[in-house]
Chains A and B, each alone.
Chain A
Amino acid sequence: MSGFLALVRRDLALSLRIGGGASFALVFFLMIVTLTPFAIGPDLNLLARIAPAILWIGAVLATLIGLDRLFQADAEDGTLDLLKAGRLPLEGIVLAKCLAHWLTTGLPLALAAPLFGLLLAMEPAGMAAAALSLLVGTPALTFIGAVGAALTAGIRRGGVLIAIMALPLMIPVLIFGVAACNAAVGGTIPFATPLAILGALTLIFAVIGVIGAAAGLRQVD
């Protein structure tokens, strides 16, 4: 357990310091929110209607940032070999690294969502729903991405490939994330339904992602 926490702490320290890029995802998220009105015009009604979609697509794309180095950096410099010699199983290593990635990517996005919702003329209820759905759903995005990151850990130019592999698998999370935001401000279904499914997806992808990524790292030799 202490090995697990030490790995989380180390990954957090590495991403928060110079060269780590912890803030990249948040800045990228802000860019997407800013670009959309330029593309569709400053129509506040339209923006408010599609705000959940913008926030969720922004979150999906921002999650991909940093994923290409999630395992590659450690695989390249031999840290992964060293970690394999410890008592923490590879699944634990994957889980620790996913947790650190989410703490510097998904969590800040969820916390910033209400603020960015202001730019998109969202109602307060919609902002709260967006924050909550991102909080529940973004771990699933990290876990899905981890599989892609593990499969490309041993190769260069893995970045785009991770996006190609992970994005189709992220569709369910996107569907229920946006549905939860929309349900909070109207519509026929209760907010809790898509949110509960989103939570279930996070749990399912936690299992698939951790097992899949660990299997992927095993074949990096």
Chain B
Amino acid sequence: MRVSGGEGCCLRQSRMISTLPDPYILTARDLACRRNERSLFAGLSFAVSGGGGLALTGPNGVGKTSLLRVLAGLLRAEAGTVSLAPALPDLDLPQRSVFVSSRDPLKGALTVHELLAGWQAMVFEGEGGSVEGALQAFDLAALAGVPCAYLSSGQRRRVSLARLKLSTSVHRPVWLLDEPTNALDAAARSRLAAVVGDHLAAGGMVVAATHDPLGWPDLAALDLGAHVVHRQAEVALA
């Protein structure tokens, strides 16, 4: 099976070619994943090109989060490969992607500004993003000096997402988002949609796991439910 960015994405791509001669292509081949003896999916292949993206759908437990973790290099696939073209010599996919999991890596004792400055120094150093830009993009300027312990869940989610702007679409073209709109209100959702739109326009790509329709243009849908392997009584040693 092959999913490319969809119609809209191809139009956008042709527009981008003048500025980006080599569009990024994320390719997954024959991915299989197994967690706790459960086969999640197998034989999964797809390609996503810059300017487009994938919306992963399917019922609970089909492996949406696991697929994102495989793409982010955090989980070993049981089989198959993932690659990002054009390849760079010393940077692997984890260093060329931003993965926003459903957990918020916030530290209650740090202020929002300290937290983001820490992420920038520890993870996104020299990648062209700025803490101020990240605060601005998610409307967090007013919260910059507030300790994370005081934030509501929607605010925590926005801080979590703000890491997307600590790098640039050139350094980290692949965005991997797990239920990105959870806990976000309408205003925050449209902020996120704008940030994602800029990223796609700059040649980046998005893979998002979602239950709700995201309402973002240029995303092809991939129903992981169709790739689940239901093992019958096949017994294997874990």
A13/B125 contact (C-beta < 8 A), A78-B101, A82-B119 known? no
Cα distance, A17 to B122, chains bound together (Å): 20
CB B207 to nearest CB in A, in angstroms, measures 15
**Known contacts A7-B122, A10-B122, A78-B101; A84 and B109 CB within 8 A of each other:** no
Residue A46 CB within 8 A of the other chain: no
Taking the complex as formed, is B69 at the interface, i.e. its CB lies under 8 A from any CB of chain A?
yes
> Assuming A19-B109, A85-B99, is B104 touching A78 (CB within 8 A)?
yes
Q: Are A10 and B109 in contact (CB under 8 A)?
A: no
Query: Is there a chain A Cβ closer than 8 Å to B112's Cβ?
Result: no
Query: Could you mark each residue 108-152 of chain B with 1 if its beta carbon is under 8 Å from any beta carbon of chain A, else 0?
Result: 111000100011011111000000000000000000000000000
- Judge whether B72 and A6 touch: CB under 8 Å: no
User: Interface residue tally of chain B, by bracket?
Assistant: 20 to 34
Residue on A nearest B172 in the bound complex, by CB: A85
Question: Quick one: which of A53-87 are within 8 Å of B by CB?
Answer: 74, 76-79, 81-87
Q: In the complex the two chains form, is A221's CB within 8 Å of B118's CB?
A: no
How far is B111's CA from A10's CA once the two chains are assembled, in angstroms? 12
> Once the chains bind, are A221 and B122 in contact (CB under 8 Å)?
no
**Mostly helix, strand, loop or mixed at chain A's interface?**
helix
Residue B163 lies at the interface, judged by CB distance under 8 Å to chain A: yes
CA distance A9 to B107 in the complex (A): 14
Set A9, A17, A76, A85: member contacting B123, Cβ < 8 A: A85
A86 with B122, Cβ < 8 A, contacts A77-B103, A81-B72, A81-B74 known = yes
Interface residues in B156-201 by Cβ distance below 8 A to A read 163
Whole-angstrom distance between the alpha carbons of A77 and B103 in the complex?
6
- Cα A20 to Cα B163 in complex, Å, equals 24
> Chain A residues near B99 (CB, 8 Å)?
81-82, 85
Candidates B75, B109, B121, B123; contact of A82 at CB < 8 Å: B123
Pair A20/B122 contact, Cβ less than 8 Å: no
Is there a chain A Cβ closer than 8 Å to B153's Cβ? no
Chain A nearest Cβ from B28, distance in angstroms = 18
Residue among A78, A79, A88, A221 making CB contact with B75, cutoff 8 Å? A221
Contacts of B94 in A (CB 8 A): 84-85
Closest chain B residue, CB of each to CB of A10: B118
Could you say which residues of chain B place their CB within 8 Å of the CB of A42? Answer: none
| Nearest CB of chain B from residue A78's CB, rounded to whole Å | 4
Enumerate the 8 nearest inter-chain pairs by beta-carbon distance, A residue then B residue, closest first. A6-B121, A86-B123, A78-B103, A79-B105, A17-B109, A78-B105, A10-B118, A6-B122
State the B residues within 8 Å of A (CB): 69, 72-76, 94-95, 97-99, 101, 103-110, 114, 118-119, 121-125, 163
